[in-house]
Structure 1
Amino acid sequence: MRTVCILILCWLGPVQAMYAAQTNVQIDSIRQLLRTPHPDTTRVLLLAQLAYEYTQTNPLATIAYGRQALRLAQQVHFQRGECWALIRMGSGFREAGNYPAALQVGLQGLHAAEGLGDPELIGRALNALGYLYWEQGNSRPALNYFLQSKRMAEKISNQKLLTRVLGNIGNVYQQLNLLDSALYYLRRGYTLDLVNRDLVSEVGDAGMLGNVYARLGRSGLAQYYYRRSIKRAKKPHITFALCRSYLGRARLFEKEGGIWADSALQNGRQALAAGQLGHYPKGVLEASQFLATAWANRQDTAAAYRYLSLANATRDSLFSLSKMAQVQALEVSDRLSQQELAAEQEQAEAERRQLWLLAALAGALPALWLLWRNNRLKQHAYHQLNRRNAQIAAQRDRLREALAELKATQNQLMQREKMAFLGELTAGIAHELQNPLNFVKNFADVSTELVEEMSGKEHEVASSNSIGQEFLTGLKQNLQKISQHGQRASSIIRDMLEHSRSGPGRREPSDLNALTEEALLLAYQGFCVKNPEFKATLTREYDPGLGLVPVIRSDIVRVMLNLCANSLYAVLERQRKLEACAATTGYEPTITVSTRRTTEREVELKVLDNGIGMPESIRTKVFQPFFSTKPPGEGTGLGLSLCFDIVVQSHGGNLAVKSKENEFTEFTVRLPS
């Protein structure tokens, strides 16, 4: 059976070398072999190779065949086959954009290869992990894995692995903007690609050489390598190379402008089409981002918005907070596992030393001195192991304490932010309270005068019941109005106390139109108290059929207050900039607040302003804690972060932002109903 496995592996090597001309033939050949009887170990290797053949064209098929290979290898206890299956599955998950799954499977493959002590498998697993980190933009860990893989390939003289690794090292240096080092390794890798006839590595390295030469300002060489990469990658449709090379050409044409503008858009669309056809999310993301920017530069906002929406959706699927948290959790788990494994190895080594000492004790008396000495060494090793375990336990305890402190600090920050909101709204609430209290005072004064008048004309009242009845009616109406406006003042105070209350609230069916109107008026009045000369147009577009929605009233009011306050600040800043430039003609600060029911189970609230807007570099960070664009002392940087927590974590909804610098900003809150 081992002989058959070796023959299969020898057959697989030249198959990879003829990838460009015989991709479909290879797949058909492997499938034909799978239809004929073979030992299970041979079938595992065939399934793993079939998974590899689909990596650049259909990563979902790679994952499926990799799983088949893994299940069969586990059934027949074929450990080497398990390693190959895990490495192929990791590549499939990476190309499909599922980075947490790729990291988990890749680490399993590396540990399995290390358990076997197979240098080739270890090198392959290290290279795959390095590529995964490079795709995510984590250059330092990627470079570490690639250099380890390079040392392993050189140790066993594996030229096929070395040609892949050298180009990958060049990719990392290009990502780090160390262009001389990138050019050195990419040239070496490209030369080996041609020698070993590795088409996948060749077209990838050619595309990256084009990127490096483009950044060095050598557009002629860049175009040469882009064209070569596209020409060689087209027939077998090697997705990642087509995406990178088309996109590189598009960026080069866009930079040159003029007559090349249409070519830039054409190449951008070809890059996007290649990524979509090959199920390559990272390529789709980069191509759609380029097209969105290109159309925006051409003032075609509809096309720019369409591609920007595609880019945002793809980025969310690749780099969402939950996926990044999974990746970090897997990294921490792997480090802890490595520490525990090291501790177990130390303990096993100590136990082996103890057994050796017992065997020596069964010898002759001359070995007693050696036994005593080794026993002391054993005790010392045990003490060191105990100290190490104690240190690990202490570190874990400190981490738990730090986590508890972090959660407590977060709760305190949320409460402080609530109080900050309350302080900002105090002026608006005071203004709102002033009107009912004035009514109370005025009507109280009128009622007092009526009573005094009735007392002075008591004899007239007795002689004329109609006059007395008129006085009593007026007095009654005034007292009713006093009661009405007193209740209104009490309601405002109650809402203020509700905003300042700490801890999670209870969801209640609420009228979101009324809550939104309340937040808009309070934010506007408070803003006008601090800026008396400021005026803005407030536009309401409320859905009358919205219905009652179960929410935490105080939290939703706080979210809408924060969004409205930010919009008021944005339009005031734009007005000030225009006044400073003496260009205020035609500008009118406008805030539009709208509600609508999008589906039976979802409602939508929007706050739109025509203020200063935000560039993309700021828009991607607005929901991060402590990030603020306001001057020191005017903003805490926690408002939008806490709004995001309230909408997403407390209500299971979604909070998104769209903006264009010096034109508009729109926040959208979606809540389940």
Structure 2
Amino acid sequence: MRLLRLLLLLLLPLSAGAQASALDSLRQRLATTPPDTNRVLLLNHLCWQTSTHDVAQALAYGQQGLALARQLRFGLGEVYLLNALARAAYLQHDELAAIRYYQQAVRRAETTPRADRQHMLALLGLSRVAIQQQDFAEAEKYGRLALAHMQRRRPVSISDQGLGQYSLASLYYGWLRSGQPAPDSIDRLCTQYTRQALASFRRLPPDANQASCFADMGQVHALHWQYDSAEYCFNESLRLYQRFGDRFGQTETRLGLAEVLLARHRPAEAAALLRPAVAWARQLKATGLEAQGDKLLAAALAETGQGLAAYRLARTGQALLDSLESAERRQTLARLRVQFDTERQQNRVRELTQRTQLQQQQAAKQRQYLWLLGGLLLAVAAGLGGAGLLAWRLRLSRAQLARQNTELQATRTEQDRLYALIAHDLRSPVVAFSALADLLKRYVERHDTARLLGLGERMRQAAEGLRGLLDNLLSWALTQRGELTPQPETLDAATLLAEAAALYQPGCEAAGVQLAVAPGTAGRVRADRNMTHTILRNLISNALRATPAGGTITLAAEAGLPRYINLVVRDTGAGMDAAQVQRLVAEAAIGYPAGRRGPAGLGWRLSQSFARAQGGQLSLTSRPGQGTTVVVALPAAVGAETNQEVSQLAGETV
């Protein structure tokens, strides 16, 4: 019976005092409301609000509202009132009247706009009546129809979702309690859907829905002899029903709790619960609840030794049950179901026939537009094809533009870095020339001939550094334009090192640095002479700037990786830390403390490019205070291999 209180609950439950106040307010409004659709809705509310404590008055409100709705041809209001009257009849255990009202509600809802939810609730009501009659196949049929209606309504409210879950829980619980053959999973499904329904209703403000779920959970626990859990759930349900002043819910819950107390051999407590419950059932004219209460109270009195009173109550309860379960009544209910199903099938046939005729008419019209539609589709297809081609070309153009923008950005970034390097490397010789000019002016004014003669060598060194920088710039520009390609030939490593040492020997002597080729240097490389000389000049120039007076620069040729010769430049300068080495290898400009190695600049970048162009590589190791060693690994000259094969091996090794 609890499901019926959930199906069409239009107003949130109120406390007993608030509920009485709300009823008084509705009655006052009813006295001043003219016979229109608003009055129909007011009568519907009054029927719902009074059905749990004054069923006769609820039926009077419902009949009055139904008559007015039919008079006004207010279809939606008629469906509301039919559902409300069915609920009131069901609460009285008048299942025959309940089925009739619910069937009328379904028929009216099928032809009434915006009555989808009322249609679903009427089907759930028919399912609940079938559960009460233990016709579970019929109950499942109506339940599935109701769920299908719910799924067609989007979005589904939390309240309706809980109603659907609770409907399944009630079906499985009734099936489980009936003792009829059932699937093995029915126990698990009953508990699962009851908990889901309770979780859904807890997302809403506390109301009778939660109370009903707690009561059903108590019934499930009691069925499995889990009496502690059952008693807890019944007490929670009773607390909520008392809060809302729902006498009908309190009556049902007291009966369930009394069964648990009797099973736990506590007849005195059960009797105390049952006496007011039986009185309320009699006041509510709920014959089924009254009969059940009489039987339970008789059992409780029998356990306490009051045999005569128990016998009288048992006879009274049985007489009430016999009046409810007469064979004629069951036959009438079955006849109503068959009549209702037959009528629905006939309506469905008529609907399908009308739909077929309408489809034939539409098909005749569609044939008239078929050729026109075909031509239109061809035109649209041609237009889409053209648009697709244009879109494809546009995507290609955008992709090409994005690629060009990326390349341009990379070129601009590289250009900015190159400008920074050139400006950084040009600064030193320009500053040197500026300082020499100041000294020259000062010595001329002082007529210091001896010092003037010494400026010649310093100016030559500055000019030589500037010339080397310009050579590097020219070579770098040629490599970037692809105009400078290596011309490999077989070169003697010792000769290359000796030529480079001879070029920088005067500068080293002037700086007080010893420059020497290591003994035992030997080997031949396959490389471009000019590129290799440029690499060695840059490395020796860097080493000379980094090595203080009294230091040593050593050139050597050593065996490296297979088929490679290493040209090595070692100095005993201040060295570099790991961070400086990492930045140098990454081709970034590096700053050094005053008096130590100057910036690597463009020379280092050019040396790396020339080494790679020849199939080799450039590596550097250095530690603070232990000097720096730079290794140029170049392909060794071998008799039978071509330069292309050596370059391929070099690429794999590097």
TM-score between the two structures when normalised by the length of structure 1: 0.48
Q: Larger relative contact order (C-alpha < 8 A, sep ≥ 6)?
A: 2
Question: Which is greater in Rg?
Answer: 2
